Amino acid sequence: MDVLEEPVPEADPCAPGEFARFRAACSRFVNGPEHTRRRAWLVHRLEGLTLDTDGFARSPEFLPVAVLARALGFSEPSELPGLVAEMARAYPTGAGSPDAATREALARAPREEPELHLQLLVQAYAATAALARGVEPPVPATRRVVDGELVTVPLDDHPFGAGTRRCPAQALARTLAGMVEP
């Protein structure tokens, strides 16, 4: 799908607030070489994770993020699903300012690249819950900038996206979705 190779709408790195700063530090809302760098870091970080569900409730909104948070080395992983739920609502468009949740989540993130670590949890939250619940497509649409216009791109034929921005966690997402009890 060629339109998915068009640039994404960028988050403003100078916008005020912890959530806006977090969003601008993710791979998802930046273009060019910085996208390549951040994405490569994420892809590498996702390799060889050990998934441990011990002690966690099995709901689609809780288990995937808690297991991923534990695997990535967040402190208090069972606190992350609630914080990330608040962030995930505002994440795709940037409408909303869950600054307190962002601050609390970043405080529990590993020291290296805390925003990119947290991006993995935010990306996982709604998409993996929808996948586990059988919603199709789990992520209904994404956005690109084409000839200066913001366009919505439906994902019916590409549930995990396509091209240089396709989801880097397809196999992991399926594994996590298979661990829940909807």
Task: By CB under 6 A, name the binding residues for ligand HEM.
Answer: 4, 27-28, 39, 42, 68, 119-120, 123-124, 127-128, 131, 138-139, 142, 155, 159-161, 165-169, 172-173, 176
Q: Which is nearer to ligand HEM, 101 or 139 (CB)?
A: 139
In sequence order, what are the beta bridge partners of 144?
Answer: 151
For residue 155 the two structure tokens come to 């994902």
Q: How far is the CB of 178 from ligand HEM (least distance, A)?
A: 11
Q: Which is nearer to ligand HEM, 98 or 168 (CB)?
A: 168
Q: How far is the CB of 35 from ligand HEM (least distance, A)?
A: 6
Q: How far is the CB of 139 from ligand HEM (least distance, A)?
A: 4
Numbers of helices and strands, H then E, in the chain: 7, 2
Q: How far is the CB of 126 from ligand HEM (least distance, A)?
A: 9
For residue 98 the two structure tokens come to 């869950």
Q: How far is the CB of 99 from ligand HEM (least distance, A)?
A: 22
- Nearest alpha-carbon partner for 50 in 77, 87, 84, 28: 77
Dihedrals phi, psi of 60, to nearest 5 degrees: -60, -25
Q: Which is nearer to ligand HEM, 16 or 37 (CB)?
A: 37
Which residues lie closer than 8 Å to 58 by C-beta, 6 or more apart? 179, 180, 181
Q: Which is nearer to ligand HEM, 16 or 89 (CB)?
A: 89
Cis peptide before 168 (omega within 30 of 0): no
Q: Which is nearer to ligand HEM, 20 or 120 (CB)?
A: 120
Q: How far is the CB of 182 from ligand HEM (least distance, A)?
A: 14
Q: Which is nearer to ligand HEM, 98 or 128 (CB)?
A: 128
Q: Buried b / exposed e across 96-114, counting CB within 10 Å, b at 16+? A: eebbebbebbbebbeeeeb
Q: What single letter denotes the amino acid at residue 8?
A: V
